[in-house]
Structure 1
Amino acid sequence: MRYVAPTREALDARVLGRHPLDTWSQAYGFLGGASWPSIEVLNAHRPASMQQRFVAQTPQLLADGLHYEERIAVTGAIATRERNWHDLFNTLVWMRYPAIKQALNLRQVAEIAVMGRRERSRPQCALTHFDEAGIVVHLREPAMVEAWDAHDWETLFRGYRQAWLNGDTTVHVFGHALLEHALTPAKLLVGKAMVFLGGSGDVLDACAAAIDSGQVLNDPLELRPFPLSGLPGWHDDGDTADFYRATPCFQPVRAGRIYPPARATA
């Protein structure tokens, strides 16, 4: 069933103070209140490193005949529907993670050049899944990856609770559709994660470089399911063992399912 976000008027403002929307609502004043930000306001908040710009999606814009991704690569114009949660979160992700978004765009355009505009390759599906529901996770303990490989959710989240809380691990919620789904408080969010282990480099730079070089996101099965509700403090029942055993978002690993090894940052 297609997800329908609450209207701005019906939004429960309390969700903006909860994970994962709390940091986004604090950094950008566009999520709360009665008014939608204009395209001009969004463009004024772009980081200096972002060359692309947001452009209202109108019939006139779409008449250029370009694919959405091609338009970004050729003209720098990111078609954006106004008064739309999905596209608003997309603009915010562009602002926060421009290098990763640009790497995804260039890979998509390269695949379109091979496949055409109607067919989709396995890499295109992987790139889209990450764009919509992606999470970048940086771990320090190899044993955490082993628990994740086995879908041992109680060990991963509850057994390493302190590591999640003290900054030894970092989680970047990247997917704009995932952020949109967070507008509904009862949803148990499961993202599609790329995991990095150890290293002293910047995990976001490493992620962008890996995407740009084609080392990752060549098949959707590379991505690991990551139930965000398992993170300490992200769900009211997260401190109980039964939560990880009975809640639907914590699925057992499928027979024969093997994930690629965690990548190093540098």
Structure 2
Amino acid sequence: MTLPFKRIDWTQPWLAPLAERGVRWQSAAIDGYSIYLETLNADARSMDITTGRGKPLSFIAQDDLPAGASYEAHIAATGCVPTRHNLHDFFNASIWFQFPRIKAALNARQAAQIDALGIGPTRGVLRDALTLFDENAVLFVCADPALSDALRDFDWRTLFVTRRADWGVRCEAQIFGHALLEKLVAPYKACTGHAWIVAVPPGYFSLDDSKRRVLLDERVAKTLLDHPPTSRDFAPLPVLGVPGWFPANEFPPFYDDTSVFRPGRRHRG
């Protein structure tokens, strides 16, 4: 049970933003399930984080979710996040601390849909889009529309080679989806996220990491609450193509693999 936790490598660039808290949580998870939950809840009590309906965040064992209760509706109504002793839920909890407003916005939207439509055999279009964001989103933060266009148009050569020097100063990627983070514990070339484009002013890239997170958290949460997302709002992003994230991508032929960096639509107009 603890072996997957031991495999987390906090030096990986996509995990480094979570490392300060994550190293402690990893140690607690290796020590045992109850110790792990106690550690999560101690951190939650020290933070002003609420779920979709303003309830203080806490974490409970998966078995404490009442029979027949909906996961998202329970979180919204009680603040309690059912949490298993596995990597998937480990990273879910991590993102509650990293981007609490976005997580609360997703939870509020999910709970409202459950109130309106109930729990059926399928989630429905909106809940599918919300789940896609929650599980697999990458925030593609960008101060240059040409780079956003390159992403939308599958123009990998422009995005990753021609404009490579612009990464970190005109655009960046931040992993949000906890299922994607789980996959990236054992990364593979075809690992692909669903990029959610966040337009920012150039001054964003002069901010420190904590201020960047606050800005993104507020901006994306507002967008999710104001405008129901759809699956068409995302663009595929092979995450190991991000400059600086994988040694092999330092060589341009890395991006010639069309099974990963697939050709697609090109810029219209």
Aligned residue number for residue 244 of structure 2: 233
Distance 2:49 2:141 in 1: 24
Structure 1 runs of 4+ off > 4 angstroms? 10-14
Aligned residue number for residue 152 of structure 2: 149
CA distance change for structure 1 residues 127 and 121 in 2, over 3 Å: closer, same or farther? Answer: same
Distance 1:186 1:32 in 2: 25
SS at match of 1:249: coil
Name whichever of 25-34 and 191-200 sits farther off: 25-34
Deviation (angstroms), 1:229: 0.9
SS at match of 2:194: strand
Normalized against structure 1, the TM-score is what? Answer: 0.83
Distance 2:152 2:79 in 1: 39
Kept in 1, the 8 Å contact 2:41–2:59? The answer is yes
Aligned length: 245
Correspondence for 1:115 among 114, 117, 130: 117
Q: How does 1:1-266 map to 2 (within 5 A)?
A: 8-9=2-3, 13=7, 15-29=9-23, 30-31=25-26, 34-36=30-32, 38-46=36-44, 47-50=47-50, 51-58=56-63, 60-63=64-67, 65-81=68-84, 83-118=85-120, 119-165=122-168, 167-199=169-201, 202-213=215-226, 215-217=227-229, 219-246=230-257, 248-253=259-264
Q: Percent identity?
A: 31
Deviation (angstroms), 1:237: 1.4
Aligned residue number for residue 263 of structure 1: none
Kept in 2, the 8 Å contact 1:151–1:252? The answer is yes
> Which amino acid is 1:173 matched to?
I
The alignment yields a C-alpha RMSD, in angstroms, of 2.4
SS at match of 1:185: coil
Unaligned ranges ≥5, structure 1: 1-6, 259-266
Unaligned ranges ≥5, structure 2: 51-55, 205-214
Distance 1:61 1:12 in 2: 27
Deviation (angstroms), 1:207: 0.3
Deviation (angstroms), 1:169: 2.0
